[in-house]
Amino acid sequence: MVFSSITFLFCILPLFLITSFVARRLKAAAGRNAVLLLVSLLFYTWGEAVNVLLLIALGFFNYGGGLLLSKTPWPRLTVSLLVACNLAVLAWFKYVVWLLSFFVPQGWSNPVLPTALPLGISFFTFHAVSYLIDVHRKDIVPARSSLNFLTYFCMFPHLVAGPIVRYRHIQNELSHLDNDPNLFSFGMYRFLLGFNKKILLANMVAPIVDNAFIWQIEDGIGHLPISCADAWLGAVAYTLQIYFDFSAYSDMAIGLAAMAGFRFAENFQRPYSASSIREFWRRWHISLSSWFRDYLYLPLGGNRQGQTRTLLNLLVVFTLCGLWHGANLTFLVWGLWHGMFLVFERLGWGKLLQRLPSWLGRLYTILIVLLGWVFFQSKNLERAVAYLKTMFMPWTAEGGIALTYFGAGITAIAIGIFLCLLPDRLLPTPDSAHPEQVHRWHMLVQALLFFPALAFLVSGSRNPFIYFNF
């Protein structure tokens, strides 16, 4: 189930709002947590059925693991085994079939191997690992209440597609109910903002992306039946689609959490405003990049052990960042692509960028990110290379599809580009730390946009979130 679905809007969301309202009136954090946990399990079960048992089992496993870490005389060994168990579950469902494909004949199958990826497993695995490591580091005390921990672990706003929320960021709110009326209003605003971004922008450009990246087989040979101009248009469309799609989900997650009394940190800060790849990763999927920084890059030594080790650490982190997104060589190349440019910027290219006009830095960043998205979107390296060849070698393009016929998509692209090009100061986004900054006209604009967005949703427009696949 997705947040931008009729079932969620008219079944799960009203149930969530009613129970949240009752909990606020009763001023009962424990009651709020219990209801939120039940709603979360219902939300997850709706689309995943039996996989909810895996979620619950991992929840109790990591709750017990946190308690064990506070008592064991072998904390390093214990935390290593606990983290390894979580990563082993992730590897079993996400990577084992892919890894075996390099060694077994094509078409080989085994009924024991997993055939589907449990929804959100990459995200709740990282939630578990961050919790266990924080307990081990004594940054937090382990949860004493299984209800509080399971509410955190299974909370449906961040469960299936992030943001990656650390236990220490909301541990106080799990025990104390925040009755700030501004926070609830802020939550409504952010949910509406995300819903409108998803339906009116991300979904509108999706047909252009689908047709741009289409792959035809003729006489056993695959090819892209598009022109050079359409290939560039498709790449721009996907660059906008993945941003507005994923940031919309984060907006809705932040909004739903705020309505329940939780303050989630921002996950996006207008990343296409960045003037370097390094800055881009400070603005894009912040919860993921900060997770890799704190739990992988810094433990590897960060930038404290010389230039060579720093560059190697960056490549390791972004290789794993790419693979985190999926078991495919295209994700590996995408991660290495970003890691490579981060290395270049460390070697001196970054200092040169700082001397250039800001618009040149933004143009460079957008171009590198856009080309990286071609690998991210493509099913395999052959398709990615063919797409890039069409973009940069127009005399090889075959033509055949005029993507400009998608009028609604072209309009959405124009609006998306305009919003991305606006300076940060002209498009402020209130956060949960300052919920009072939501003005009435902000809410009014989003409320008015909700009705055409709902009409498009009912009409059956393409709807799944991209990051649900990871």
Residue in the structure block whose two tokens are 């960045």: 274
Which one, of 195, 183, 188, 194, lies nearest residue 263 by Cα? 183
Strand partners, 222: 217
Inter-axis angle of helices 121-136 and 167-175, to 10 degrees?
90
Q: How far apart are CA 376 and CA 358, in angstroms?
A: 27
Q: How far apart are the first and last CA of the chain?
A: 15
**What's the CA gap between 158 and 123, in Å, rounded?**
8
The CA distance from 171 to 351, in Å, is 40
Of the candidates 285, 325, 338, 442, the residue annotated as catalytic is 325
- Number of other residues whose CB lies within 10 A of the CB of residue 227: 18
Residues 101/327, Cβ–Cβ less than 8 Å: no
**Residues 151/37, Cβ–Cβ less than 8 Å:** yes
The CA-based dihedral angle spanning residues 351, 353, 357, 361, taken in that order and rounded to the nearest 10 degrees:
-150
Based on the residue annotation, tell me whether 325 is a catalytic residue of this protein.
yes
Look-up: residue for tokens 């469960």? 159
Closest CA to 158 of 56, 251, 82, 51: 251
Q: For 418-423, which contacts have Cβ atoms below 8 Å and span 24 or more sequence positions?
A: 420/240, 420/243, 420/270, 420/272, 420/273, 423/273
Side chain identity, residue 134: D
**Other beta carbons less than 10 A from residue 288's beta carbon:** 21
Separation CA 382–CA 405 (nearest Å): 27
**Rounded distance, CA 48 to CA 218, Å?**
37
Active site residues: 325
